[in-house]
Structure 1
Amino acid sequence: MATSLTALALSRLLGPWNSGTGAAYRELADVVRLLILDGRIPLDTALPSERSLCTALGVSRTTVTGAYSSLRDQGFLSSGQGSRGRTRIPQLTPFGPALFGPQPSGAGSPAAPGLSAPGGLIDLAYSALPASGEVVHRAFASALTELPALLPGFGYDALGLPPLRQAIADRYSAAGVPTQPEQIMVTSGAQHALTIIIRTLTDRQDRVLVEHPSYPHALDAVRAARCRPVPVPFTDSGWDLPAVESALAQQQPRLAYMVPDFHNPTGMIMPDAQRRRLARAAAAAGTVLVADETLRDLNLDGVATTPLAGFSSSVVSIGSLSKSHWGGLRTGWIRASESMIQRFAAARTTLDLGGPVMEQLAAAHLVRAWEEPLPALLSRLRGNRSVLLSLLAEHLPTWATTQPAGGLSVWCRLPGPISTALTVLAPDFGIRLAAGPRFGIGGAFERNLRLPFTLPPDKLETAVLALRAAQDKLDAAPQLRRSLTRAPAVAIA
């Protein structure tokens, strides 16, 4: 069952849409179109009837009829029965089908990480950090001394080494969520964890609720399982809980993938009151709530929250060392009920038979000494965040930004739908970007760009100056902007 939008809800999203500078129907159509492109109105959503929208907006039937007709002509509204068409993206956009079908050949598959950036480019497509130096080195040195004791065994363990599982469980318990090692399964990173969860708990065509925007590789995992993503848009202030509750009640998705802790890409954090509501709504819908906590410890402003699992015993949590310590570790985990962990372990054998022992031994040391690298890391990230925001305000004042409370990146609002054009042009100016639509479904977020603040200040300054030069070139040549519409997908972290 697809979602629908009431006239009052659409009126709230439209805001003061009628400026009086043009035909009313055209202004109405333009604002609705931008709401669709920005992800504020999810795809495959039935718009309100012409009659009810006329009443809600206080305009003539001709105005609404003309706006809906314009949206259909432009490909943003299907020709449904009566006047209740469904939102879509034109089929000729560079990002493939409007709804949930496969991507066209060559247009949608991301390049393998690390293989697509030519030498010399400043890579802003990745939101990741180098290793925490001596801490990681020391952990592997200790692991090497412990390895001989495990060599007589077979080396296969679908659940993970007991010392690492215990260390992870202890961290959850210390955070106020009592956890036993039997509730932990070690994986080869967070993406591996999500893939196992989706394979275990969903079938083809099952619905999976996702935030919109969301982490691109999570969207890839949903599509790879042939599930149907159900996007729920953010508001300017964060999660739209009434919209989430409505989608859960109407769609009853099998899973809901959420990033409540420094959401990727916006950097927002979900307050505990919203976490409680979310857990309650998911339980009522029979939806398994999957919380990606990979960025939870990158808490730059010290905002105190409870892990989502603290509000419901049925929450499945994902964690990883990739963002806090180093992506090269490829060590992640799943926290869930003991019975659910056993189901994940059984399903995992179709993917692999367990993780590398050496890495798990090192990871156990890192988890037990988790706090050691964090103070210096967080201090450096705060400084980088301040530098990036200052540079954007100085050199790109038409870009709207909000300071994220944590995480690794800033989600920028561009002055126009130029994200793809900038991405195509960026290598000519020495930088590599990930276009905003990579974080959405059906081509949304052409007016957005994610910029990480993981690079040192001098690199950030060079990158922002390059962005300004690229935008100046687009501003000086509108026809160039129109021609740069087919951007190849890029790898994103």
Structure 2
Amino acid sequence: MSLRRSGSQSLVSLLGHWQESPSRTPLWRQLAEALRLLILDGRLALDSRLPGERELATALNVSRTTVASALAQLRDEGYVQSRHGSGSRVILPVQHQQVPTRMTAGQALDLSTAALNAGPEIHQAYSHALAAMPQHFSSSGYDQQGLSVLREAIAQRYCARGLPTRADEIMVVNGAVSGLALILRLLTGPGDRVVVESPTYPLAIAAIQGASCRPVGVTLPVEGWDVAGLAATFAQTAPRLAYLMPDFHNPTGRCMDAATRQQIADLSARTRTTLVIDETMVDLWYNAPPPPPLAAFNADAPVITLGSTGKSFWGGLRLGWIRASSRTLASLVQARDTLDLGSPCLEQLATVWLLENGDSFLPQRRQMLAARRDMCSALMHEYFPQWRYAQPEGGLSFWVELPDMLATLFAARAESVGIHLGTGTRFGLAGAFDRWLRLPFTLDDEALRIAFKTLQPLWNSLNGQQNNLRTRKII
């Protein structure tokens, strides 16, 4: 089997600012910790082959002994497997388990995943779905566009939000990322450019690169969206499509206003650039609901909209949908043949109940999340006063700016105490955003306080070292 090979320059970009200087930690151990973080984040794909020791040492400007020692440490820990003459490939330890998302003192914690546990409404939804299942037993169960009852419910939801939609303009898929991958399969080819916001959702980057396309970033300004930059990028790169998150953008939490939606929809219509609009966070607003869907602002704009149950209801449902013209959906159904034969019937029926009853539990969920957001902000002010961030308008996390490019180093230290952090580099292209963290506020207050109390001395030590280094340079 031919393994995918990580190029040395690509790996250098992914590693970012991994080297801590001055430090009592040996350089080889720092490198091992940084590589381990890339593996745990999924940015170094399993079974991919690493560059040779000499090549990597040259690219990193370190000794070959440093690289060899780091790889030896990772081999001992079970993250790398080496064979003479074949190099080293990325693996996971046999006993590796997912890091839990809840925490008490002394337990490990995943602070990189922005998602909630299932609420009692999920049990209710499945109970109703089971009762409704028998009427579907007379069919084959294969339906690549989705159950009509669910497509009707989703279409009514769009209509209520100001976007007239028919059931034949809805296709049910196995999550928003699956929907994006299907769209990429239909509309793009190897080497095509796909415009994304910078930063953006890391699994979208992975899907774009997995389709052998080239993501092209348009930097988000301090506030809002850079419409002029988007227009210039469309003109300069002629992308096949653009992937945008206007509704409580992941990771920044900002919401695109109506005027900007109009400008971008008009730009899409004028340039005939297809927009793929990810609305997975649309229900998680705290002060006011978002404007109507972007597709509602210009009927001539080629807009494909993605939705999902993962953030609104529960990630375990693994169900999403695509809204597009009936002609586009017919092509997507044909392209789906080589991927799967449709989405599970039980989950679709559960989603029908959740959509029909969302008004009875989503307000309480939003209220709970707003309270956790405010508590997380207060705790950050208490434990990490040097951090800067804007209050997110919705979504599940803060986009935190650190005083220096310390995200990779801090995350590597956090791993040593059993806490997994989401570095900003996961959300950028070629190792960008190493001075940023995405910090979810989905944990309860006590668990978050325990996590921050554990992380505070690590941060103070790291930040103090950087301050001393800057002072020495000035002197």
| Short-chain TM bin | 0.7 to 0.9
Superposed, 1:1-16 pairs within 5 Å as none
AA of the residue aligned to 1:467: L
- After superposition, the C-alpha distances for 1:42-61 in whole angstroms (9 at most, x for unaligned) are xxxxxxxxxxxxxxxxxxxx
- After superposition, the C-alpha distances for 1:338-387 in whole angstroms (9 at most, x for unaligned) are 10111111111111010111111111111122222111101110110001
AA of the residue aligned to 2:114: S
User: In the alignment, which residue of structure 2 is the partner of 1:245?
Assistant: 231
- Rounded Cα–Cα distance in structure 2 between residues aligned with 1:218 and 1:312: 25
AA of the residue aligned to 1:472: N
What TM-score does the superposition give when structure 2 sets the normalisation length? 0.76
Q: Tell me, which stretches of 5 or more residues in structure 1 are unaligned?
A: 1-36, 39-89, 95-103, 482-493
Superposed, 1:51-62 pairs within 5 Å as none
Q: How far apart are residue 91 of structure 1 and its match?
A: 5.9
User: In the alignment, which residue of structure 1 is the partner of 2:148?
Assistant: 162
User: In the alignment, which residue of structure 1 is the partner of 2:426?
Assistant: 438
Q: How far apart are residue 285 of structure 1 and its match?
A: 2.3
Structure 1 residues 106 and 126, CA gap change in structure 2 (3 angstroms): farther
AA of the residue aligned to 1:350: T
User: In the alignment, which residue of structure 1 is the partner of 2:26?
Assistant: none
Report the more deviating stretch, 198-207 or 312-321.
312-321
What is the aligned-residue identity percentage? 42
Aligned residues of 2:194 and 2:243 also touching (Cα < 8 A): yes
Aligned residues of 1:160 and 1:355 also touching (Cα < 8 A): yes
AA of the residue aligned to 1:162: S
User: In the alignment, which residue of structure 2 is the partner of 1:371?
Assistant: 359
Aligned pair 1:219/2:194, yes or no?
Answer: no
- Rounded Cα–Cα distance in structure 1 between residues aligned with 2:203 and 2:272: 25
Q: Quote the RMSD (CA, aligned, Å).
A: 2.5
123, 135, 145: which is aligned to 2:131?
145
User: In the alignment, which residue of structure 2 is the partner of 1:233?
Assistant: 219
Q: How far apart are residue 394 of structure 1 and its match?
A: 1.7
Q: How far apart are residue 478 of structure 1 and its match?
A: 5.3
Superposed, 1:96-107 pairs within 5 Å as none
Report the more deviating stretch, 371-380 or 459-468.
459-468
User: In the alignment, which residue of structure 2 is the partner of 1:472?
Assistant: 460
User: In the alignment, which residue of structure 1 is the partner of 2:164?
Assistant: 178
User: In the alignment, which residue of structure 2 is the partner of 1:99?
Assistant: none
AA of the residue aligned to 1:320: S
AA of the residue aligned to 1:394: E
AA of the residue aligned to 2:407: S
Aligned residues of 1:255 and 1:289 also touching (Cα < 8 A): yes
Q: How far apart are residue 456 of structure 1 and its match?
A: 0.4
Q: How far apart are residue 139 of structure 1 and its match?
A: 1.3
- Rounded Cα–Cα distance in structure 1 between residues aligned with 2:216 and 2:256: 20
AA of the residue aligned to 2:113: Y
- After superposition, the C-alpha distances for 1:240-269 in whole angstroms (9 at most, x for unaligned) are 111111111221211100000000000011
User: In the alignment, which residue of structure 1 is the partner of 2:298?
Assistant: 312
Aligned residues of 1:385 and 1:453 also touching (Cα < 8 A): yes
193, 196, 203: which is aligned to 1:207?
193
User: In the alignment, which residue of structure 1 is the partner of 2:40?
Assistant: none
- After superposition, the C-alpha distances for 1:437-475 in whole angstroms (9 at most, x for unaligned) are 010000100000000000001111122222322212323
AA of the residue aligned to 1:172: Y
327, 333, 336: which is aligned to 2:324?
336
SS in 2 for 1:434: strand
AA of the residue aligned to 1:297: D
Aligned pair 1:393/2:381, yes or no?
Answer: yes
- Rounded Cα–Cα distance in structure 1 between residues aligned with 2:223 and 2:143: 43
Q: How far apart are residue 428 of structure 1 and its match?
A: 2.5
User: In the alignment, which residue of structure 2 is the partner of 1:460?
Assistant: 448
SS in 2 for 1:208: strand
Q: How far apart are residue 427 of structure 1 and its match?
A: 2.4
180, 190, 204: which is aligned to 1:194?
180
Q: How far apart are residue 115 of structure 1 and its match?
A: 4.1
Superposed, 1:348-427 pairs within 5 Å as 348-427=336-415
User: In the alignment, which residue of structure 1 is the partner of 2:38?
Assistant: none
252, 259, 269: which is aligned to 1:283?
269
Q: How far apart are residue 186 of structure 1 and its match?
A: 0.3
Q: How far apart are residue 282 of structure 1 and its match?
A: 2.0
Aligned residues of 1:248 and 1:281 also touching (Cα < 8 A): no
User: In the alignment, which residue of structure 1 is the partner of 2:111?
Assistant: 124
- Rounded Cα–Cα distance in structure 1 between residues aligned with 2:418 and 2:235: 47
Aligned residues of 2:392 and 2:398 also touching (Cα < 8 A): yes
Aligned length: 381
- After superposition, the C-alpha distances for 1:146-193 in whole angstroms (9 at most, x for unaligned) are 111111211100000000000000000111100000000001111111
Report the more deviating stretch, 411-420 or 454-463.
454-463
Q: How far apart are residue 132 of structure 1 and its match?
A: 2.2
Structure 1 residues 288 and 93, CA gap change in structure 2 (3 angstroms): farther
SS in 2 for 1:373: helix
User: In the alignment, which residue of structure 2 is the partner of 1:55?
Assistant: none
Aligned residues of 1:261 and 1:268 also touching (Cα < 8 A): yes
Q: How far apart are residue 142 of structure 1 and its match?
A: 1.2
Structure 1 residues 448 and 320, CA gap change in structure 2 (3 angstroms): same
- Rounded Cα–Cα distance in structure 2 between residues aligned with 1:410 and 1:136: 26
AA of the residue aligned to 1:323: K
Structure 1 residues 456 and 338, CA gap change in structure 2 (3 angstroms): same
259, 262, 266: which is aligned to 2:248?
262
Aligned residues of 1:254 and 1:288 also touching (Cα < 8 A): yes
SS in 1 for 2:422: coil
Aligned residues of 1:437 and 1:446 also touching (Cα < 8 A): yes
Q: How far apart are residue 476 of structure 1 and its match?
A: 4.5
Aligned residues of 1:303 and 1:405 also touching (Cα < 8 A): no
Structure 1 residues 426 and 158, CA gap change in structure 2 (3 angstroms): same
AA of the residue aligned to 2:313: H
SS in 2 for 1:400: coil
- Rounded Cα–Cα distance in structure 2 between residues aligned with 1:105 and 1:454: 37
What TM-score does the superposition give when structure 1 sets the normalisation length? 0.73
Structure 1 residues 125 and 304, CA gap change in structure 2 (3 angstroms): closer
User: In the alignment, which residue of structure 1 is the partner of 2:314?
Assistant: 326
User: In the alignment, which residue of structure 1 is the partner of 2:278?
Assistant: 292
- After superposition, the C-alpha distances for 1:118-143 in whole angstroms (9 at most, x for unaligned) are 7921211100001122x111111111
AA of the residue aligned to 1:288: T
Aligned residues of 2:275 and 2:304 also touching (Cα < 8 A): yes
SS in 1 for 2:118: coil
